Amino acid sequence: MIPSSFCVMEKIFSFYYSEHVHVHISEALNADEQTFVEGRKLIVEKCLKNKDIKYKKSHVPVIAVLGSGGGERATVGLLGCLAQLAEENLLDSVTYLCGVSGATWCMALLDEDPRWSLDLPKDLHQLVEKLLAEWSFEEILNWLSEAVEDENYSLTDFWAATVVYYITKQMNKQRLSEQKRRDATNPYPIYTVLDKKLKQHQQKTSPWFEISPHEAGYSYLGAFVDTEFFGSQFEAGNLKKNIKEMDMLYLQGLCGSALADEDNNNQYIYKWICEWIKTLWGLRSSRTELRLHDQNARVAVSEDPLEEALDDLIQLHDNYEDDDQNCALLLKLQKLQSGPVTERNM
């Protein structure tokens, strides 16, 4: 789900129909993507011939696998489907691999390997083992400690560092644009995101936003920027402020479609995250208490800041158009996260 910093179609893509440098206006495929498709076409054609599948020689079909949302179920489901395609020697017939929410968690897991489509299904067991591995509370805190310093810190960061990481067990700090130099060995990945503003305002235009290794933008507008600039600020089609590209963990959180529903956030997401994190925090607290007991140490316990922080994150997420309120909430969150050391952050 595109949060406040990205859900600004009029700002990010506010350009004049004159010469512009960084915003691409075209309904055609990106030139680099087109080169990939041409290269992938050779692999697809060979696969179809080997399977004795008939097709028009003048038109090699472009096949896409689309993965739905659904959290861990969607992650495991897409992984199983792709493994079965590989088992049947049909994976090479696929040109595009697209997904939203939980499906993108599977895509990111696979994309860590530049030859993953050749390694399935024999590596399926290793991939499942990754999903079943231990998670690290320290990694969550370290990632969030860096994220909270960013001006765009939001519920999306928290969702990525807790829910996404807890399910995938991968603190993936790679950048999607790093894949743009890969060859056509794997299907071309397209990560899709729901635009919160368009969805909630019930616009007739498609609320979908897509991110590939080469570019990010709205397909229905034909407006894109190079992926390494996604999240930066633009004016009149030109780069105004270059902001470092998000890592893959944040991207997976961004693709979480559940957060695009404001009513769902208020009724279910807040309660679910709060109870879930309290459970994790309780496990950590008990371990801390045991360690402190062994050291005969004493520690002052302050009031649990979790509910207050989550409430602020929900407000930050749902009131993205109020800059003054967002600044105040962000400062409050930074203070909460960098507050006095207690048994909860030792």
Report the SS3 class of residue 203. coil
Between 194-208, 247-261, 306-320, the lowest mean confidence (pLDDT) is in 306-320
Check pLDDT > 80 for residue 319. no
- Residue 58 pLDDT grade (very low, low, confident, very high; cuts 50, 70, 90): confident
C-alpha triplet 166, 66, 69: angle, nearest 5°: 35
Picking from 280, 291, 282, 252, the residue whose alpha carbon sits closest to that of residue 136 is 280
Picking from 302, 276, 299, 275, the residue whose alpha carbon sits closest to that of residue 288 is 299
| Mean model confidence pLDDT for the chain | 79
Check pLDDT > 90 for residue 145. no
Q: What's the pLDDT at 163? A: 86
Check pLDDT > 90 for residue 65. yes
In the chain, beta strands by DSSP E: 23-25, 64-67, 96-100, 188-194, 208-211, 215-218, 223-226, 233-235, 238-241
Token code pair at residue 127: 């991939």
Name, in order, each residue with C-beta under 8 angstroms of 251's C-beta and a sequence gap of 6 or more.
104, 108, 176, 191, 211
Amino acid (one-letter) located at 66: L
Report pLDDT digits (tens) over 74-132. 999 999 999 999 999 999 999 999 999 999 999 999 999 999 999 998 889 999 999 99
To the question of pTM greater than 0.85 for the whole model, the response is: no
Question: Per mean pLDDT, which of 8-22, 190-204, 238-252 is the most reliable?
Answer: 238-252
Q: What's the pLDDT at 318? A: 56
**DSSP single-letter state for residue 179:** G
Check pLDDT > 90 for residue 207. no
Report the SS3 class of residue 317. helix
How large is the average pLDDT for residues 299-323?
54
Check pLDDT > 60 for residue 219. yes
With tokens 């792709």, the residue in question is 82
Q: What's the pLDDT at 290? A: 43
Check pLDDT > 70 for residue 279. no
How large is the average pLDDT for residues 202-231?
86
Q: What's the pLDDT at 138? A: 86
Token code pair at residue 267: 């009724």
d(C-alpha 306, C-alpha 316), whole Å: 15
Token code pair at residue 292: 């402190």
**DSSP single-letter state for residue 259:** G
- Residue 61 pLDDT grade (very low, low, confident, very high; cuts 50, 70, 90): very high
Check pLDDT > 80 for residue 289. no
How large is the average pLDDT for residues 193-205?
68
CA dihedral 243, 244, 248, 250 (to 10 degrees): -50
Picking from 131, 73, 67, 129, the residue whose alpha carbon sits closest to that of residue 104 is 67
Check pLDDT > 90 for residue 133. yes
Q: What percent of the chain has pLDDT over 70?
A: 65
Name, in order, each residue with C-beta under 8 angstroms of 92's C-beta and a sequence gap of 6 or more.
43, 44, 46, 47, 117
d(C-alpha 158, C-alpha 330), whole Å: 13
- Residue 25 pLDDT grade (very low, low, confident, very high; cuts 50, 70, 90): confident
Name, in order, each residue with C-beta under 8 angstroms of 23's C-beta and a sequence gap of 6 or more.
13, 15, 223, 224, 225, 234, 237, 238
How large is the average pLDDT for residues 149-172?
88
